[in-house]
Structure 1
């Protein structure tokens, strides 16, 4: 059995212009007594996390295509939930999915129901939120129904998701259409985007354009792992926050 080392890994590609931001986070974490190792090999990063050799891992500036494809080979299908600070109330919420390929158009309903299940399992295990409020986004307001086949399909699917989840879980879940701002103002802490592309665009708009504070994107799958994916365009504090999130979530006993 592998011995758990009180260390966190950050994957770094020194060729990436943003690697200096990773180094800033690395030095800051070390100054706080948090043991960090920078790794350049995606396989080393993922293998160390999956084998339980370290307390957790963060992708950093390594190419997503390399890290995520290697991870997928070992744990199967997964989803990413971006951890962002609500600009209205200052508390963290999950935005999911944020991977552009994480919703299969032919199995969209199943994927979204699975995402909610993984989110609820994570929250139950970690106690991250005391009360869960899930807001399901679709392609428009209810009054927009009939304007577009695509919008109609998203609205219908969202309604069906809410109905299914309410029957299956004892959890607060609502669908109000496209009104993201209403969910955030009212403290909803899980936002389900219509698909991975729109989720990624929401993340980039909030985090990379408006500077909303975040902790990267937590990997959710059938297998529980302590791994956070980050944007290669992030600032040092996002890499720093990702490690601190893992440390606070899974403290040493």
Structure 2
């Protein structure tokens, strides 16, 4: 099994992450420049545009799964959209709270999940992922306020009405703005939009002592696990990619 990992910056951080799991798979590091201290058990794919090369290798079958690693998001996601033939990517983040409660969160891309239909698609595709990784597949839909907040602001009102409609159409639970309650009994959390989802992810993982296990892209027919360049370790995301290949 070959797993490709993008390396746009801080190659030592990527290699240190792989050291922990070196026997789990073969690894190919996609990067722009030759390293001063390469490791003999890692393959290195050097190119002028490693973002495009990583995506091409995935779709050409040269690797079984790809992890973005530290490659820049904008260029990598653009290449992925083009090769997959889609205008929208649906990423679902696998998160873990400081007290080890795991759940799926979507949308987490700032340009994702801005319509009722998009969020329904996230629910449809997140449930099989939850089943694959052994999480509760019940869904909590969040909004920008409680029912009692209706009338305070038109944007808040829209998030509340959207959450109610999504819950009715999918049989999910409308948990209003109460994410702290939603994670207790639901394995899938649907944020009001991509901005709030991204903020939830960053607050939990970068400020709140939580952890991220990567964000698989669910609508491209290939295994691609997105990651944040702000992360300090990528072994969880790589292990997720390995697990998804096996399943």
TM more than 0.5 = yes
Secondary structure in 2 matching 1:29: coil
Map 1:1-253 to 2 at 5 A.
6-13=1-8, 16=9, 18-30=10-22, 32-40=23-31, 41-75=50-84, 76=86, 77-88=88-99, 90-104=100-114, 108-123=115-130, 127-129=132-134, 131-166=136-171, 173-184=172-183, 186-221=184-219, 223-236=220-233, 239-251=234-246
Deviation per residue, 1:92-140 (Å, 9 max, x gap)? 2111011011134xxx11111111122134446xx32364111111000
Deviation per residue, 1:2-49 (Å, 9 max, x gap)? xxxx11011001xx3x4432121122222x353111102112211122
Aligned residues: 227
Q: CA deviation at 1:78?
A: 1.4
> Unpaired segments of 5 or more residues in structure 1?
1-5, 167-172
Of structures 1 and 2, the one scoring higher in RCO (CA 8 A, sep 6+) is 1
Q: Which runs of 4+ in 1 moved over 4 A?
A: none
Rounded to whole Å, the distance in 2 between the matches of 1:33 and 1:214 is 19
Rounded to whole Å, the distance in 1 between the matches of 2:56 and 2:189 is 31
Contact 2:110 2:194 in 1 (8 A): yes
Rounded to whole Å, the distance in 2 between the matches of 1:133 and 1:86 is 18
Rounded to whole Å, the distance in 2 between the matches of 1:64 and 1:194 is 22
Q: CA deviation at 1:248?
A: 2.3
In structure 2, what is the equivalent of residue 170 of structure 1?
none
Rounded to whole Å, the distance in 1 between the matches of 2:157 and 2:54 is 43
Q: CA deviation at 1:146?
A: 1.3
In structure 2, what is the equivalent of residue 3 of structure 1?
none
> Unpaired segments of 5 or more residues in structure 2?
32-49
86 and 210 in structure 1: CA distance in 2 versus 1, 3 angstrom threshold:
closer
Rounded to whole Å, the distance in 1 between the matches of 2:60 and 2:128 is 21
Q: CA deviation at 1:51?
A: 2.6
Q: TM-score, normalised by structure 1?
A: 0.84
Deviation per residue, 1:128-182 (Å, 9 max, x gap)? 236411111100011111111111111001000011112xxxxxx2012101000
